[in-house]
Amino acid sequence: MIKKMTLEEIGKLAGVSRSTVSRVVNRQPDVKAEVRERVMEVIRETGFVPNSAARSLATQRSGILGLVIPRSVATFFGDPYFARLTQGITQACNARGYMLSLFLFHSNNDEELLLPRLSQGSFLDGVIVQATRDDDPIIPQLMKAALPFLVVGRLNTMPEGVSFIDVDNVSGAYKAVEHLINLGHERIAHITGSLDNRASLDRLIGYKNALAAHNLPVDENLIVDGAFTEDGGYEATRDLLPHQPDAIFAASDIMAIGALRALKDAGLQVPNDVAVVGFDDLLSSYQTEFALTTIRQPILRFGVSAVEVISDIIENGNTPPRQKIYDTELIIRETCGARQ
C-alpha cells in the first residue's frame, strides 16, 4: 500500500520546494537538469501522482470529457455503432491524456438531475453528445451552460452555432444506389431505417437523388421501413418481393442481413436474382456468413475526431462552430454482383 504524497513532501525528500516539484511534474522548462533528475528520481521511487482535485481547483480544468447518450437513444446502446464510437473516443482520450466520463440517461429524471450537475459543476471540460430527437431539451440546456460541447450526428433542424460532426449519409446512399445502377439494375428497392431519424431520412434522400440523376422513376412500392432491425429487414423484403425488385439497398447492414435471409428463404439467388447493398460496415467482426457489399462509415476515426474537435473547442472557443461531415466509402464484396 502506497502512501499518498504531496508536492511538499516530495520536495522535502528531494531537497527542493513545492514549486520546483510542480515545475518538474508539469514539464516546465526552468529547472536545472540536475535538480530535475533528482526530483524525478524521488517521484519514481514514491510513485507520486499529483492530486487531481487540487489541480483542477487551481487550474479550473478537470481534464475530463463527458460522453452523453440522451435518454431517447440510450436504448440503442447495444448497437455496435456505440461500441465503436466509444472505442474511438477512449482511444483518443487515452492518447491525449483526457479522462472520459460516461452519462447514459435512462429516464427523464436522470436527465433533469444530472444535466445541471454536469454542465454547472465545472466537473467536465467539454461534452460529446450523441444526436437525439429534435425536441430533446439536452442541446438547448447545454447551450445555456457555458460548457463546450459537440454533437455527434445531426438533428433534423440543427440550432444555429452548434458544432457537430456527422457522416455524409446522403452521398453515401447515393454511392450505393449509383453502384447498383451502374451494374444495370433498374428496379432498386430501399429498406429504410426508422424515419424519425435524420440518418434514415438522409439515406432515403440519397437513394432518391441517385434514381433521379439516372432518370429512374421512384416507385413508392419499392420503399419499405425496416426499423433498423434484422427482422425488420426480413419482413420488409417479403413485402418487397411481389413488386419484383432486382436490387435492394438497405439503410443498415443488419437489415441487409435480414433481407439476404429472406431472399434465401424465398429461393432467390444473390446477386443473380437480386443484388443487395447495405450501409455501416460495422458488423465485419461478428458476421461473415455473407460477403456484403456496403457503405463504410469510419466510426472509429469518427470517435477519435470527436475528441480532437472538442478539445479544439475547449482550447480555442466555439467560434466559428466546427461542422465536419465525413465521407463514406463503398466497399465492394459479393452481394452486389460486381465481382462475378
Partner DNA sequence: CAAAGAATTGGGAGCGCTCCCAGTTTTCCC
Partner DNA sequence: GGGAAAACTGGGAGCGCTCCCAATTCTTTG
The least distance separating a second copy from the CB of residue 72, rounded to whole angstroms, comes to 15
Most distant CA pair in the chain, distance: 85
The least distance separating a second copy from the CB of residue 279, rounded to whole angstroms, comes to 17
Closer Cβ to a second copy, 15 or 121, answer by number: 121
How many residues sit in the footprint of a second copy (CB under 8 A)? 59
Query: By CB under 8 A, what part of segment 233-292 binds a second copy?
Result: 234, 254, 261, 285-289
87 binds, among a second copy, DNA, none (CB under 5 to 8 A by kind): a second copy
- Of residues 59, 108, 244, 316, which one binds DNA by CB under 7 A? 59
Closer Cβ to a second copy, 59 or 182, answer by number: 59
- Of residues 2, 3, 27, 29, which one binds DNA by CB under 7 A? 29
Closer Cβ to a second copy, 5 or 170, answer by number: 5
80 binds, among DNA, a second copy, none (CB under 5 to 8 A by kind): a second copy
Q: Does 51 bind a second copy (CB under 8 A)?
A: yes
Measured at the alpha carbon of residue 212, what is the angle toward residues 208 and 213, in degrees to the nearest 5?
115
- Of residues 18, 35, 38, 86, which one binds a second copy by CB under 8 A? 86
The binding track of 188-227 with respect to a second copy, each residue x by CB under 8 A or -, is ----------------------------------------
Q: Does 6 bind DNA (CB under 7 A)?
A: yes
Contacts by 136-139, CB closer than 8 A, 24 or more apart: 136/70, 136/71, 136/72, 137/111, 138/68, 138/70, 138/111
Contacts by 114-118, CB closer than 8 A, 24 or more apart: 115/141, 115/142, 118/66, 118/68
First vs last C-alpha separation in the chain:
65
Q: How far is CA 78 from the centre of its chain?
A: 13
Sheet holding 223-225, edge to edge: 223-225, 188-192, 247-250, 275-277
Closer Cβ to a second copy, 82 or 164, answer by number: 82
Q: What are phi and psi of 248, to 5 degrees?
A: -130, 130
Closer Cβ to a second copy, 178 or 235, answer by number: 235
Q: Does 31 bind DNA (CB under 7 A)?
A: yes
161 binds, among DNA, a second copy, none (CB under 5 to 8 A by kind): none
The least distance separating DNA from the CB of residue 142, rounded to whole angstroms, comes to 21
- Of residues 37, 41, 47, 51, which one binds DNA by CB under 7 A? 51
6 binds, among a second copy, DNA, none (CB under 5 to 8 A by kind): DNA
For binding to a second copy (CB under 8 A), which residues are involved? Answer: 1-2, 4, 47-54, 56-57, 62, 64, 67, 74, 77-78, 80, 82-84, 86-87, 90-91, 94, 99-106, 110, 113-114, 116-117, 120-123, 144-146, 229-231, 234, 254, 261, 285-289
